[in-house]
Amino acid sequence: MDVVRRRAGWLLGLGLLGGLVWATVVTLSMPGWYDPDRDCGKKFLTEDNLTTVRSGWFPPSASCVYGDTVRQYMSTTRSVVLSIIGVLLLAVIAVSLVLVVRRLTGDPGPVRTADDINLRRRRRTHLIFGAIDMALVFAVVTFVNVAAIAFGELPGAILFIVLTLVGLSAFGAALDNHMGPLPSTALESRRRGTVAGLTTYGLVFAATAFAGQLPFFRFWAAPAAGVAYAVIVGVQWSRSTRPNPTKAQAVSRVEL
């Protein structure tokens, strides 16, 4: 169980990726939204005019309706198999998500001191290169966002949002651990990184919504994410440089 707790982030990421694959498979198992008449006609070898398509995500199902005749597009076997896989993936995602959240309230670990480290240079590096890294990551997010919605539809979009939030939180924590404020603990790095990643996504999402361009991010989302991240990190550095008696005592104990 300890191994699962330590690898909860990886488990959550794999579960969400599996969910995206599942959503894509379900979408491809249904008539295409762009031309359902052609897909149904090709499936049932008919040229009759399609009345409508009935589909559902849980359990996955799809039928083509021709007047009063309903023809099952997705087989029962495939529907059952996809349903079982979907339940298992949901269980993995739920359990790993709980474990990941618990890591934000766990043991803080030892305090990393700022001995022999130029904090001014470290801060400048964090602001500049951290913002560039976040912008590059968001450029990838912008591109994959389109594919997730196109192939996974609404479930794919939801899973991709969750995956993006988890990924940005982990990436923010990694950046903070590598370039963030000192003295600090691993728990503080995780918390700051999580806040930076989630807030960056929230600001870009809100800006995109305000511009009336949802559900797709635009080309300006990447630089906007970089700027937002730099501002958030700058605030975190400013807060970390304030005197903290509790942290000072902890550092003193470590030095002793």
pLDDT digits (tens, 9 = 90+) for 44-96: 877 777 778 888 888 899 998 888 888 889 988 999 999 999 999 999 989 88
> Torsion-angle region of residue 109: left (phi > 0), alpha (psi -120 to 50) or beta?
left
Q: Are 74 and 134 part of one and the same domain?
A: no
252 inside domain: no
User: In terms of pTM, does the model score above 0.85?
Assistant: no
Omega before residue 59 within 30° of 0, cis: yes
194 inside domain: yes
Structural domain range at position 56: 2-81
pLDDT tens for each residue of 82-138? 999 999 999 998 988 888 888 777 777 788 887 888 889 999 999 999 999 999 999
Q: Are 60 and 146 part of one and the same domain?
A: no
**Which of 26, 51, 81 represents a domain boundary (last residue)?**
81
**Which of 81, 103, 136 represents a domain boundary (last residue)?**
81
102 inside domain: no
Number of structural domains in the chain: 2
State the Cα–Cα distance between residues 135 and 137, nearest whole angstrom: 5
134 inside domain: yes
